[in-house]
Structure 1
């Protein structure tokens, strides 16, 4: 019997079910649902316990809390890609009079603006949104607790400001813009600002007894861009595919890659878990892989979205309890289980269809001073430059279309690599952000800054 490559093996499915069963039982959640995505499609759905007497499927809504922030970040980045704002712009330029206008758009997206974590009392997650109709009510008299741009400090009011920015530049409500520009194009028909049946009810579980207390499901009003949304494992699985691959109808692949770049070092409390933050996405290194996504919580609900782009995997986990199961750990485990049990099968190697001779002659060994590097050609005209020792600075480079390449990662991200040719057309050296790479260590005929001693290499007698 053969198994489709799109299906998970029975042993993998049982391991996934066991993991969420343990999470639901030990975390004492009234219900817990999960999904796994592989290579662009959902390949597994699991549920424990029930909602309204039925096992919840991929269409049952749960509140997703701060995963809403990732949706809001997508709207802001759409504005940037359209040229309506710059990430370095101060908020005051586009949304004057807030009292927090000195923060930049990028700082708000990355939680480095210095704004307080929460709005002033009353507790906004359990208060009707009508109590906070104005931005001043959300920010309070002392909105900034830290110098802007100096440290990561998670801020719910910061995303309220970003939602107001979207409304100002689009001339429509945050909810309407989200539906029109993200939910409808991506086919997320079960994601909404208000619950739509079938949906789970939110519960508090007594810490010392197996009894429940219903939690209120408040409309968050002005705070909605920070945590209002309801969604399903089915919709969040599709959203995970978008965050991994991009979709030109919403954000191109280059922009979603930008969201996954850490914008600030982790706080001391997060160093052990190596948790950082990009532009609307949490970033964590766990089990030897980089995981991106977001967690969420509101009274009565917990949520987690975890993506491993390198493995082509994502996991969604939702529960209807205020506290209990550690869903970030569950999501990471679901990804690890599939990645280890069924490693991604690499695409078959194929030779390039064609190659530019002027690029091919650059392939091979180069030296930065005495450090040995190898330049290799990749698909779509790109190259890699990596240290031969396996240690040191290396990067992939994207072809610019004019005989140069731009670095995509690490120290050389954004730096331009260009070959420098002599009058006869031969290659003298490579220039990478002013660093000179030569065919031989300190090659005498190349333009090495500072020159090369005319006596050449020697021993010491």
Structure 2
């Protein structure tokens, strides 16, 4: 992978190197490798190691643990986009007999399916997958610990079920489908289910002594869709760019945006930390910015991928130790360093290519009751509606092609905005989910629910 180190300023590069150097030294990681992505490509790569003269580069594989789940989620969204399933379908419809079939596919993606966090039996990450040859061995006799759909409870077996779903509907092993539908189209030639040289060895570092112990690298078998993959900082940089913008060869921009949208109720502790979960992606607020991505860990390895879509910056951090540096904090810091030192330069403002006079007529000030709102027509073909001052409900709206508009976010997400015209063709008011917006507050003659006092506005006397 070719990186463009010169695209970041020397001070930014030094700050990035300092951050990973502190993480490797204080976290006592045998090695740590990182990459930063901007404008869809890697613009910085750095590494630190305990072995003199042998720092890993962007082509050295590390095990990435649960970042594997994001790959599995992409495969499931592809099935949805092809019409082979609906996210609201119960698992039983496509994969009967699991004992967890009442959970929907969306609930499994968002870890709200009520399943246990881990597989019963010995620690699955450190034992051969051959000990769990069937789904029943992964799920155990009581796969559900919580009511389905009621709470977010992270579940590795849940993603095992999603991998089995992919195999059932594709008629091929999960690993083969992954390679054909994601790895090859995106050029992730150094991502694989089994380690391929050059790769790092996994180590456990003694908590109270500067000594190490090698960790086993087991094939997870049925649990592979939850955490099997090996990858590199170079490949994950490409994957991060895809998760930010989509790629029609794999998954559209609209579908990856759906993955990045919160889909699970947050636990109390998560609310305090500003964290939630989408469809195969973790979502968090750090340093005043929204970050999406995923962390990963398996014995001997830690991994983190994090993206700030608004800043157009992503970071990947990999280390070969069971515990030590907090890579989620490192990744967030790498994003922050670049975003603050070299903020994104917006593209030039450009007007609409063609202005629809019927849409332009809607622009300007509107009132919901006595609160003033502004409706703007933007060059991306959308309209936006929000309060002129202070906090309040705001949203962008997309055209439906029939003179109506559908809300895209916030309170008005999915709600219909309909301009209502008088017999002479002039706009009378806006109807937004039964709310009436008028050109003047409580405009006389407008169909304001409850009517308008015929004596009009008056003073206190």
**TM-score (norm. length: structure 2):** 0.97
Instruction: Name the counterpart of 1:239.
Output: 239
- Counterpart in the other structure of 1:351: 351
Aligned residue for 1:379, secondary structure, equals coil
SS at match of 1:249: coil
SS in 1 for 2:7: coil
Q: How many residues are paired up?
A: 458
Single out whichever of 276-285 and 410-419 deviates more from structure 2: 410-419
The CA deviation at 1:412 is 1.1
Q: Does 1:197 align with 2:197?
A: yes
What do residues 403-450 of structure 1 show as CA deviations (whole Å, max 9, x unaligned)?
222211111112122211112111011111121111111112222222
Rounded to whole Å, the distance in 2 between the matches of 1:192 and 1:274 is 33
The ranges of structure 1 where at least 4 consecutive aligned residues each deviate by more than 3 angstroms after the TM superposition are 50-53
Normalised by the size of structure 1, how large is the TM-score?
A: 0.97
Q: Does 1:373 align with 2:360?
A: no
Aligned position for 2:39? 39
**What's the CA shift for 1:402?**
2.4
Matched, 1:386 2:386: yes
Query: Superposition RMSD on alpha carbons, in Å?
Result: 1.4
CA distance in structure 2 between the partners assigned to 1:5 and 1:50 by the alignment: 23
Query: Structure 2: where are the runs of 5+ without partners?
Result: none
Displacement after TM superposition at 1:293 (Å)? 0.1
Q: Secondary structure at the match of 2:366?
A: strand
Contact 1:110 1:278 in 2 (8 A): yes
Q: 1:181 & 1:70 partners in 2: Cα distance?
A: 14
Task: Say yes or no: does 1:21 pair with 2:17.
Answer: no
Supply the distance in 1 between the matched residues of 2:34 and 2:18 (Cα, whole angstroms): 12
Other structure's SS at 1:136 match? helix
> Which has the larger displacement, 50-59 or 446-455?
50-59
Counterparts of 1:244-323 in structure 2, within 5 Å, are 244-323=244-323
* Residue segments in structure 1 that go unaligned for 5+ positions in a row: none
Task: After superposition, give the CA deviation of every residue in 1:239-277 in whole Å (9 maximum; x if it has no partner).
Answer: 001100001111110111111111123212323321100
- Residue 62 of structure 1 is matched in structure 2 by 62
Aligned to 1:7: 7
* Aligned equivalent of 2:424: 424
* Correspondence for 1:212: 212
- The aligned residue for residue 185 of structure 2 is 185
- Matching residue of 1:105: 105
Distance 1:124 1:52, change over 3 A: farther
Secondary structure (helix, strand or coil) at the match of 1:436 reads strand
Instruction: Give the C-alpha shift of residue 6 in structure 1.
Output: 7.3
